[in-house]
A = this chain, B = another copy of it.
Amino acid sequence: MSSQPSHSTLLIPGPIEFDDAVLQSMSHYSESHVGPAFVSTFSEALSMLRKLFQTTDPSSQPLVVSGSGTLGWDLVAANLAEPGDEVLVLHTGYFADSFADCFETYGSKVTQLKAPIGSRPQLPEIEKALKEKKYKLLTVTHVDTSTGVLSELKALSELVHRVSPETLIIVDGVCSVGSEEIDFDGWKLDGVLTASQKAIGCPAGLSISMYSGRAIETFKARKTPPGSYFASFKNWLPSKLMFLSEQGIKGNKLTIEIVMQNYEAKKPSYFATPSPQLIHALHTALTQILSRPLSERFAAHREISQKIKKAVTDLGLKQLASNPADQANGMTAIYLPEGVKAPELLPNLFKKGVIFAGGLHKEIAPKYIRVGHMGVSVMDPKRGDIDRAIKSLEAGLSEAGYTKA
């Protein structure tokens, strides 16, 4: 029931389908990036992010920067770790390798704890690793886009706080924020990074993250300067900023507030030019998300996920994440049956009106496909996206000669 031109429904694990109102916000007429109208919109978007991440602690700090989800890794690695710091990366697939590369670029020493494909590192081995070495940070991929594996943050955080309370807990939430619950305060997380184009439902182009007061203090206590310029928290410090607006000059201001705090307080700031159109779209997407209780949203994602996973099982297919407790609620990674090839199946599904993704985990990429079920495709059943996905998959497999054994 979309006013968009007819197009195959995008059901990859991001970018996802976007609501019409969000896309219309992308066309907002041009505004000054330091004008009161835009600053007010940005302020409200930052406040809404606090609600989405379920944080009421005033020391928590949301950050929205032009860039892709990848930039979130730089924000963490260049600001919260210093050269020589030890970092423990929990590995569930493709993205842990890249996050580890990012840490190494900025001089951290990385230890990866790897799980078999489709699984995740278990608490006892994580406890053992934390006892063997002092880690400055631990990172976990909440939902691994390459495997569809979900990590359990609450128990993990309890473990870290018990065994190694000084270790910062950093969550790669690129494929989870908006489709999986994140209780930032309750679970005592220190950083969650994500992107706009997945379950938040805003077109790509924004790196979005939340940091705890403890993380900000860790940055302030650095002995070495941050290793990046564009991604440096330092450059969001007002000592370097000109405060200006079309209402006139506000003068230089030397405080410990950072640019995001100024935007949230509706004070214009300048380091790098934000994208007013993308921020408008983010504002619309967050307004839609928060118009219903978050618990309803996460329940809907669980329900639709179960529906898809049941259809997959009924077809006689297996998921990469074999343990139900490890299965993400916003995507499903499915092993292809013997004889069915992705380069033939996926174009056929495209013709049927749905776009799925190929495999991404390099060791087994040709052997599986991935389906995203997030955002409006889940929350707006009138679109019929999920039923179309299931029917298309059934028909596509049948046309590929597959019948359940």
Q: Which residues of A contact B (CB under 8 A)?
A: 2, 4-5, 7, 10, 12, 14-18, 23-24, 26-33, 35, 66-71, 73-74, 77-78, 94, 98, 101-102, 105-106, 195, 197, 203-205, 225-232, 240, 242, 244-249, 251-252, 271-278, 341-347, 350, 355-360, 362, 365-366
- Residue of B whose beta carbon sits closest to that of A375: B30
A315 to B245, CA, bound (A): 24
Q: In the complex, given contacts A203-B278, A242-B362, what are 10 additional A-B residue pairs having Cβ atoms less than 8 angstroms apart?
A: A7-B29, A15-B273, A26-B277, A27-B27, A70-B272, A205-B278, A230-B230, A248-B343, A249-B359, A249-B366
A227 to B231, CA, bound (A): 12
Interface of chain A: mostly helix, strand, loop or mixed: loop
A280 to B29, CA, bound (A): 16
Q: Is the CB of B105 within 8 A of A229?
A: yes
CB contacts (< 8 Å) of A274 on chain B: these are 68, 204
For this complex, 27 residue pairs linking A to B, each with C-beta atoms less than 8 Å apart, are A4-B29, A12-B246, A14-B273, A15-B30, A15-B33, A23-B27, A23-B28, A23-B29, A66-B67, A66-B204, A67-B272, A69-B273, A77-B229, A101-B240, A105-B227, A105-B228, A203-B276, A203-B277, A203-B278, A244-B358, A244-B365, A246-B346, A247-B343, A247-B347, A248-B345, A248-B347, A248-B358
Question: Separation in Å of the A274 CB from the closest CB of chain B?
Answer: 7
- Residue of B whose beta carbon sits closest to that of A369: B248
- Residue of B whose beta carbon sits closest to that of A26: B26
Supposing A12-B32, A106-B229 touch, asked if A362 and B71 sit within 8 A by C-beta, the answer is no
- Residue of B whose beta carbon sits closest to that of A69: B273
How many copies of this protein are present in the complex?
2
Question: Separation in Å of the A197 CB from the closest CB of chain B?
Answer: 6
CB contacts (< 8 Å) of A365 on chain B: these are 242, 244, 249, 251
Q: Is the CB of A276 within 8 A of B15?
A: yes
- Residue of B whose beta carbon sits closest to that of A201: B30
Question: Separation in Å of the A207 CB from the closest CB of chain B?
Answer: 8
A251 to B366, CA, bound (A): 8
- Residue of B whose beta carbon sits closest to that of A14: B273
A18 to B276, CA, bound (A): 12
Q: Is the CB of A226 within 8 A of B105?
A: yes
- Chain B CB count within 10 A is highest, among A342, A345, A358, for A358
Partner of A228, one of B26, B228, B273, B275: B228
- Chain B CB count within 10 A is highest, among A94, A248, A350, for A248
Question: Separation in Å of the A82 CB from the closest CB of chain B?
Answer: 14
Q: Is the CB of B94 within 8 A of A248?
A: no
